């Protein structure tokens, strides 16, 4: 069962936070690294979690050719209806969102 939190209740003392010295904070920051150390020899064996479940999957996509009343935006590269077409000063075709 979830408990409710009273956000108007007085908070803890600020002295608890200020008790850490700058040296302690710097030491904590340098000991915890956000980077993962990878052994260069084991890069071939590196697998993402859940990758074994997708190993036998085959993705198929039906490609529909661009119609005569559509154009491809030269900035976002999405296909839009010609009613969304805006010609830029350099002559490139943009959609209204990119213009």
Element holding 72 (H helix, E strand): strand 70-72
Q: Is the pLDDT of residue 73 over 90?
A: yes
Residues 14-59 pLDDT 10s: 555 556 677 877 777 765 566 666 666 666 666 777 777 777 778 8
Claim: this prediction has a pTM higher than 0.75: no
Question: What confidence score (pLDDT) does residue 97 get?
Answer: 94
| Spatial separation of the C-alpha atoms in residues 63 and 70, rounded to whole Å | 15
Give the separation between CA 15 and CA 43, rounded to whole angstroms.
Answer: 47
Q: Which pLDDT score, from 0 to 100, does residue 58 have?
A: 82
For 74-99, write each residue's pLDDT tens digit.
Answer: 999 999 999 999 999 999 999 999 98
Angstrom distance (rounded) from CA 71 to CA 57:
33
Q: Specify the residue for token string 């939190």.
A: 5
């Amino acid at each position: 069962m979830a408990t409710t939190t009273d956000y108007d209740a007085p908070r803890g003392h600020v002295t608890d936070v200020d008790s850490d010295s700058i040296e302690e904070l710097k030491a904590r920051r340098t000991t915890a690294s956000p980077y993962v150390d990878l052994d260069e020899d084991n890069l071939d064996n590196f697998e993402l979690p859940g990758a074994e479940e997708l190993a036998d999957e085959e993705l198929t996509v039906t490609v529909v050719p661009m119609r005569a009343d559509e154009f491809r935006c030269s900035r976002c590269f999405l296909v839009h209806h010609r009613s969304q077409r805006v010609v830029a000063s350099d002559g490139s075709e943009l959609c209204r969102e990119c213009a």
